Amino acid sequence: MKIQENVSLKAYNTFGIEATAPYFVEVHSTEELQQILQQWEGGQPFILGGGSNILLAGELCGLVIKNSIKEKAITSREGNKAWVSAGGGENWHEFVCWCLEHELGGVENLSLIPGTAGAAPIQNIGAYGRELSEVFHMLEAVELETGALHSFGKEACRFGYRDSIFKRELKGRYCITRVSLELRTAHHHLNTSYGAIRQTLAERGISAPTIHDVSRAVVAIRSGKLPNPSVLGNSGSFFKNPELPRRQFEELQQQHKDMPFYPLDNGCIKVPAGWLVEQTGWKGRRIGDAGCYEKQALVLVNHGQASGRDIYELAQRIQDDVEEKFGIRLEMEVNVI
């Protein structure tokens, strides 16, 4: 464990953006992390997970710590339930596969999401009708200022749609070292309500799906729609789907009868940002090497040599055009550094 100087982060962010960390260190345990925090005196470090939800658009100063804390364990079992834990630096999809190998259900819809287990609670990852918060038990995190280890239960994390306390009040203040989930060992609660999952299972002639079938369907859907970051740099959905008050939605719907929408429990209506962006004509277009993906307008991509600034400027142009056409300012889902 040695602090290195002037390290390129190109391989550490899925956008494949060139950026330099003045100081860089990789930690493999909570103790190593605490040691580094004790010896480092140059201000609050920046924690890097899988680099799959960040856009490196500005200058990094100080220390970048790559969280490579790994461990996977079944910590207890009771009835049809099992509690599992993953080190913050575990690759999320490998962890999902490991759960499936152990016949543990609850995360199958979250297959193939890029990133690490430690980053998963920060934005409360979600896909195809499931969110991390539904299986979340607790997490442990080290406070960067003091080096103290704290536990956070589900309430304390204040999960929301692609949101948690770690994106708000506690942004940048903790490194998540361990995540614990409550999964099922039998009588799985499958969620196959999402149209694309139902369709894929039907095409495959599967009427009584297992957790493995659902995972395989999700992998197939994601691979068909979302670009593989190792082939085309991206960080998944760049914007959040906006949630509109009913009045605003109804006014918009009068002008755009074909706008897809999803009513929410809180009375608001969610509309797909991908659709809004597509209507502005940005889908498949690019400015230099910064582009809007041709198969899913919500995903911005780096065609090769785009800088973080290039992607950010494209995102702003898209935000402006969506706002002009629909009166909605899209919120970026990706963390802009």
Catalytic residues: 162, 237, 333
Q: Print the binding letters for residues 81-120 with ligand EPU: x by CB under 6 A, - otherwise.
A: ----------------------------------------
298 binds ligand EPU (CB under 6 A): yes
Provide the minimum distance between the beta carbon of 311 and ligand EPU in the complex, in angstroms, as a whole number: 15
Paired tokens of 221: 């859907």
| Tokens 């008050």, residue located | 245
Could you tell me the smallest distance in angstroms from the CB atom of residue 128 to ligand EPU? 4
Which CB atom, from 83 or from 275, has the smaller least distance to ligand EPU?
Answer: 275
How far apart (Å, rounded) are the C-alpha atoms in residues 97 and 255? 45
Q: Binding ligand EPU by CB under 6 A: which of 296, 302, 307, 319?
A: 296
Instruction: Work out how close the CB of 191 gets to ligand EPU at its nearest, in angstroms, rounded to a whole number.
Output: 11
Task: From 155, 160, 128, select the one nearest 139 (Cα to Cα).
Answer: 155
Q: How far apart are CA 320 and CA 314, in angstroms?
A: 10
Give the list of residues 6+ apart from residue 268 with CB closer than 8 angstroms, or none.
Answer: 243, 244, 245, 246, 249
Q: Does 200 bind ligand EPU (CB under 6 A)?
A: no
Show the beta-strand stretches assigned E in the chain: 4-8, 20-27, 46-48, 54-55, 63-67, 72-78, 81-87, 126-127, 130-131, 136-143, 149-153, 174-184, 233-237, 243-244, 262-263, 269-270, 286-287, 290-292, 299-302, 335-336
Q: How far apart are CA 281 and CA 284, in angstroms?
A: 8
Restricted to residues 248-277, the positions that interact with ligand EPU (CB under 6 A) are 260, 272, 274-275
118, 290, 333, 337: residue in contact with ligand EPU (rule CB under 6 A) = 333
Contact status: 127 vs ligand EPU (CB under 6 A)? yes
Q: Is 283 in the site for ligand EPU (CB under 6 A)?
A: yes
Q: Is 164 in the site for ligand EPU (CB under 6 A)?
A: no
Give min distance, CB of 281 to ligand EPU, in A.
12
Q: Where along the sequence are the contacts to ligand EPU (CB under 6 A)?
A: 127-128, 225-226, 236-237, 240-241, 260, 272, 274-275, 278, 283, 296-298, 333
